[in-house]
Amino acid sequence: MASKLIKDYFRTDKLPHIWCPGCGHGILMRSVAQAIDNLGLDKDKVCIVSGIGCSSRAPGYMDFNTLHTTHGRALAFATGVKLARPELEVIVVTGDGDCAAIGGNHLIHAARRNINITTVVFNNNIYGMTGGQYSPTTPTNEFGTTAPYGNIDKPFDIPALAGAAGATYTARGTAYHAKQLTKLVEKGIKNKGFSLIEGISICPTYYGRKNKKGSAVDMMNWLKDNAVDIKVAEKLPKEKLEGKFLIGEFKNTTEPEYTEEYMKIIERFQKER
Amino acid sequence: MSKAIEKKANLQIKRDLCKGCKICVQFCPKDVLTMEGGKVKIKDIEKCIECGLCELRCPDYAIFLGGSEDEE
Ligand SMILES: Cc1ncc(C[n+]2csc(CCOP(=O)(O)OP(=O)(O)O)c2C)c(N)n1
Ligand code: SF4
Ligand code: SF4
Ligand code: SF4
Ligand SMILES: [Mg+2]
């Protein structure tokens, strides 16, 4: 009734999912499941946490321990889960609005603590669920229902933001480059610390329509033509990178991890008892 | 409705899951697929090289390699 991957890791009775035709979120969600499968993780030892948004609906379809929380608070709940059950592999699925607007503070502080959580942002440059309001990643001069004359804000670079705040692993992939995204999510999960992987999604219904980006296929072609791998970009002259965006691994370092540091304190006092 | 199509390459389609976005059709390197009645259809299975790109990028998990009929 479905491919092995889908049968093994999804609640198939909940399919088809609610996402629009051509929505990139389905591709990204599959990549996350593929990464978990490639790592051979025990399903019962994985907890997937989300906030609110189209993207945040993902855990409803994924057959793991799952937690669908409140808007912007996925990382706050995930931090609680991780501290209570450090043996769990905690993965947050969130949107650009969920993690960089209302949840922006939770994001920078989770990153600062370097807590062992892997965050996968489904970035479609818009608030999809609520009908196309601009988000912190809507490019300058583009349109949203709340930016009818064009957005005057500058967009966040979410992996750069997380990296600057202290995340030890940051990367970006896209719905078109789904195989690479799977690898990046795998590496993010393996990193012992806070990992942030941005998956550039496509929202043909709101972001696409508002900005005349064409069909889902047109938007996938745009990702194909405008994403440049960071390793390739290093060898390209600046002019060639005009209007392009980078994908690949941006940061991969090692720092003390929050739950381990926390446990050290607990152990210290337990010994003294 | 959700009858699996099994031919030379073991490419299966779940028409009830397909939302007709055409992503698989467009990015199939061998032009194996087409659309019919707003849903994906196999045009020429002989050309399929089982690369799995359709499965990789289908947002709705409606097309995939492998599996068998008796799972229905
Ligand atoms: C506290 C609160 N404020 C606002 C909302 C309304 N709301 C629901 S989803 C959403 C934005 C979602 O955008 P994003 O995280 O980018 O997800 P997408 O739908 O684009 O995948 C907003 C503002 C809410 N549910 N709760
Ligand atoms: S509104 Fe946009 S993000 Fe939400 S399901 Fe539709 S295409 Fe996807
Ligand atoms: S497996 Fe590859 S060649 Fe075969 S239909 Fe899918 S994309 Fe085309
Ligand atoms: S990619 Fe999936 S949903 Fe889109 S047309 Fe192909 S089979 Fe249908
Ligand atoms: Mg969004």
Around ligand 3, the residues with Cβ closer than 6 Å are: B 9, 11, 28-30, 32-33, 48-54, 65
Expressed in angstroms, the distance from the first to the final Cα of chain B is: 11
Helix extents (H) in A95-177: 96-100, 104-113, 158-165
DSSP H or E run through A266: helix A258-272
**Amino acid A160: pLDDT:** 98
Does domain B5-65 sit in CATH 3.30.70.20?
yes
Domain extents for chain A? Answer: 4-272
List CB contacts (< 8 A) between A25 and chain B.
Answer: 59
Closest CA to A7 of A27, A42, A33: A33
In tens, the pLDDT along A128-137 reads 999 999 999 9
**Which of B56, B64, B66 shows the shortest C-beta gap to A178?**
B56
Length of chain B, in residues: 72
- pLDDT exceeds 60 at position B23: yes
Q: Who contacts A17 (Cβ-Cβ below 8 Å, separation ≥6)?
A: A26, A57, A61, B60
DSSP H or E run through A247: strand A245-252
Full-model pTM? 0.96
CA distance A187 to A50: 20
Residue A13: closest C-alpha in chain B: B17
**Amino acid B1: pLDDT:** 47
CA distance B5 to B42: 9
In tens, the pLDDT along A12-65 reads 999 999 999 999 999 999 999 999 999 999 999 999 999 999 999 999 999 999
Cβ-defined contact of B60 to A30 (cutoff 8 Å): no
CA distance A184 to A231: 14
Architecture of domain A4-272: 3-Layer(aba) Sandwich (3.40)
Cβ-defined contact of A21 to B20 (cutoff 8 Å): yes
| Mean pLDDT of the A207-234 span | 98
CA distance A99 to A92: 10
For β-strands A227-229 and A245-252, DSSP reports them as: parallel
- pLDDT exceeds 60 at position A171: yes
Q: Is the ipTM of this complex over 0.90?
A: yes
CA within 13 Å, CB half, A254: 1
* DSSP conformation class of A219: H
- pLDDT exceeds 70 at position B2: no
**Which of B16, B57, B71 shows the shortest C-beta gap to A178?**
B57
CA distance A22 to chain B (A): 5
**CB of B21 closer than 6 A to ligand 4?**
yes
CA distance A248 to A228: 8
Q: Who contacts A206 (Cβ-Cβ below 8 Å, separation ≥6)?
A: A126, A127, A128, A131, A132, A144, A145
